Copies of this chain bind each other. A is one copy, B any other.
Amino acid sequence: MIYLDNAATTNNKPFCVKYAVIKAMGKNYSANPGRSSHNISIKSALEILKAREQLAKFFGLKNENNVIFTSGCTESLNLAILGSVKEKGHIITTVFEHNSVLRPLYYLKEKGLIDYTIVKPNFYGEITTKELKSALKTNTYMLIVNHISNVTGQENNLLEFGKFAKENNLLFLVDAAQSAGHKKICMQENNIDMLCVAGHKGLYSPQGVGVLLHNNIPLNPIKFGGTGIFAEEKNMPIISPETYEAGTTCTPNIFGLLAGVKFVKKHFSKIVKKQNIQTKYLLEKLNSLNNIILYTKPHSLNGVISLNIKNKTSQEVANILNAKHKICVRSGLHCAPLVHEFYGTLESGMVRVSLSYFTKKKELNKLINALKNI
């Protein structure tokens, strides 16, 4: 099979990741980090600390205690949004967001706790600070944007948005599910208060781990249980990261994530370069085909390309690619329905092609030929 569904999960993790996961399940590390005080538990905890340090460095965050491990980017976003809720406040977000942002907002609004404005792109299909400004209210307290759209690969300008957020005293929350590992992200530079990251996509970890990095934001926990500290207290004490990691840490996943981050750091310039070249190549080739509608802009060189074939649903195309050509892509709405409302593709969905560092040019050529034949 040719795997071009890397925006969902990167296929076939690097050897170093697999090795790290196995290590975590072995006799020298398989214990509860941060719970017991024996050697195995401590060794395990030190490795988890290393993961926090590496992630903090990679994303330009000063304090590694503000690196919180979650079960995935969805939980990171839930914690960031539900944990920072300001009653009667207002949130600005965009049509590009995933349901892991939208549904927590719908939930909070239904409870009567907040209101929100979902910003639409301008004539050029982009969101600028102009659109954000027109959504601003006196009670706005947070701006939530994704860095790179998981549907079209479109990128938001974090530097501009960060300045806007700072000027208007807003919390700036960035969903980097699709961009972490693919793009440089510096929290400090971009005034990002909270950054939500998926492990299993561009950072090549196994599924089952995500990260919330925050800049000393006092969040309320959304899960309650054992923290390894202050066991006798009724309330969860607000201490990062312990408070937000109730229950046993997903040690093998975090070990895998640490290995993945190291892998990405080591190859980063090559990863970015290859992604740019391959996305550009694919976009140009696809653009020359008559029957293709492309939703990804020529300058969105982020490894995510969305398209449809005229008079076919995305599901039909994906099925043919899978069955006849042994090519894996994703069809449908990609859990981001408002993008499809905007593009008028709620019915058809979109065919999404997404690349990784391991994608080969000949695989892209096979895809292009297959699409020609459909």
Contacts and interface: CB of A to CB of B under 8 A. Distances in A.
B71 A247 contact: yes
B328 A77 contact: no
B226 A335 contact: yes
A53 to B, nearest CB: 20
B41 A75 contact: no
A261 B118 CA distance: 45
B1 A30 contact: no
- 10 smallest CB-CB distances across A and B, nearest first, come from A208-B250, A74-B247, A226-B335, A100-B225, A71-B71, A103-B224, A38-B328, A74-B225, A12-B27, A8-B32
Most B Cβ at <10 Å: residue of A1, A30, A104, A209: A30
A13 B25 contact: yes
Contacts of A8: 31-32, 35-36, 41, 248
Interface stretch (A164-172, A179-187, A232-240): A232-240
Contact of A328 (B36, B223, B322, B329): B36
Most B Cβ at <10 Å: residue of A13, A248, A327, A346: A248
Contacts of A332: 231
Interface string A331-374: 11111110010000010000000000000000000000000000
Interface of A: 1, 3, 5, 8-13, 17-18, 21-22, 24-27, 30-32, 35-41, 70-75, 77-78, 98-100, 102-104, 106-107, 110, 198, 200, 206-210, 222-228, 231-232, 234-236, 246-253, 256, 315, 318-319, 321-322, 326-337, 340, 346
Q: Is the interface of A mostly helix, strand, loop or mixed?
A: loop
A165 B79 CA distance: 34
B73 A247 contact: yes
B31 A248 contact: no
Copies assembled: 2
Nearest to A27: B12
B99 A225 contact: yes
B5 A329 contact: no
Most B Cβ at <10 Å: residue of A72, A210, A222, A246: A246
21 contacts: A5-B36, A5-B40, A9-B30, A9-B32, A11-B30, A21-B21, A24-B206, A36-B329, A36-B330, A39-B322, A74-B224, A74-B226, A74-B246, A75-B223, A77-B225, A99-B227, A103-B224, A103-B236, A208-B251, A222-B222, A231-B333
